[in-house]
Amino acid sequence: MVTIGYARVSTASQSLQAQESHLRASGCEVIYADVMTGSAASRPEWDACRKALRPGDTLAITRLDRMGRSIKHLLEVAESLQEKGVRLRVLEQAIDTSTPQGTLTLHLLSALAQFELSQVSERTRSALAGRARGRKGGRPKALSPKALQRAQELYDSKQMTVKEVARAVGVSEATIYRSITTEAERRKAVAPARH
């Protein structure tokens, strides 16, 4: 029965030293470490770490996000460790699956993950149903076609500043800059392409 540590950083510019020091201080006899993102399908040291674990061993990590790609993935890993008889300790988050509190924390995370998945699924179904009824998603336009035409006319008259045009049609200056077409842009749009 040994304590095995696993550390991971996402890029070579990050240092594993702090994680490894923390793991050693917690009693890890062996430490596996990867330098790659958690979303990578295969992490060689993580794979080796999991193969090395035996029933009765403890896997120590500094934070849950070092172990998996998502809460769902983390919980799958935690469940497979539990089935294998391996204790999981998450040092910075004080999770220890050998205690009832640690197990409860993982179950709460599982419930939250399931809730989030169902929320995403429900929002997706709702958006698809809206699209089927002809509704387009996204934010509504700040300027109606009539207000845009008015803003363009005010801008083209050169009698008002952009700030005054924005105030007149009830939008921000940024919206005016995004929405109106300048004279130079109009000339460019109608100019024949040169070859």
**Residue among 10, 15, 80, 121 flagged as catalytic:** 10
DSSP H helical ranges for the chain: 17-25, 44-52, 71-84, 100-132, 145-156, 162-169, 173-179, 183-190
Q: Using an 8 Å Cβ cutoff, are 161 and 132 in contact?
A: no
Residue 42: alpha-carbon gap to chain centroid:
20
Pick from 116, 111, 27: nearest CA to 75: 111
114 has pLDDT over 80:
no
- Return d(Cα 140, Cα 149) in angstroms, integer: 17
Distance set, CA 4 to CA 10, 17, 28, 115, 157 (Å): 20, 16, 5, 32, 74
Q: Assess whether 10 carries a catalytic annotation.
A: yes
Look at residue 32 in the predicted model and tell me its pLDDT.
95
Look at residue 118 in the predicted model and tell me its pLDDT.
77
> 3-class SS at 34?
strand
In this predicted model, what pLDDT tens digit does every residue of 56-111 receive, in sequence order? 999 999 988 888 767 778 878 888 998 999 999 999 888 898 898 888 887 787 67
138 has pLDDT over 90:
no
Q: What is the pTM of this model?
A: 0.56
For the chain, the residue count is 195
Token pair for 57: 């061993």
167 has pLDDT over 80:
yes
Look at residue 191 in the predicted model and tell me its pLDDT.
64
155 has pLDDT over 80:
yes
3 has pLDDT over 90:
yes
Look at residue 49 in the predicted model and tell me its pLDDT.
94
Token pair for 148: 């845009």
Token pair for 53: 């674990």
Mean pLDDT, the chain, rounded, equals 83
Look at residue 40 in the predicted model and tell me its pLDDT.
60
In this predicted model, what pLDDT tens digit does every residue of 19-33 receive, in sequence order? 999 999 999 999 999
195 has pLDDT over 60:
no
Which CATH number is associated with domain 3-99?
3.40.50.1390
Look at residue 111 in the predicted model and tell me its pLDDT.
76
16 has pLDDT over 60:
yes
Percent of the chain scoring above 90 in pLDDT: 29
Between 40 and 87, residue with greater pLDDT: 87
Q: Using an 8 Å Cβ cutoff, are 3 and 57 in contact?
A: yes
Burial tier of 39 (Cβ tally within 10 Å: 0-12, 13-18, 19+):
exposed
Amino acid identity of residue 25, one-letter, is A
* 69 DSSP 8-state letter: S
Pick from 47, 41, 87: nearest CA to 33: 47
Buried b (16+ CB within 10 A) or exposed e, 152-178: bebbeeeeeeeeebbeebebeeebbee
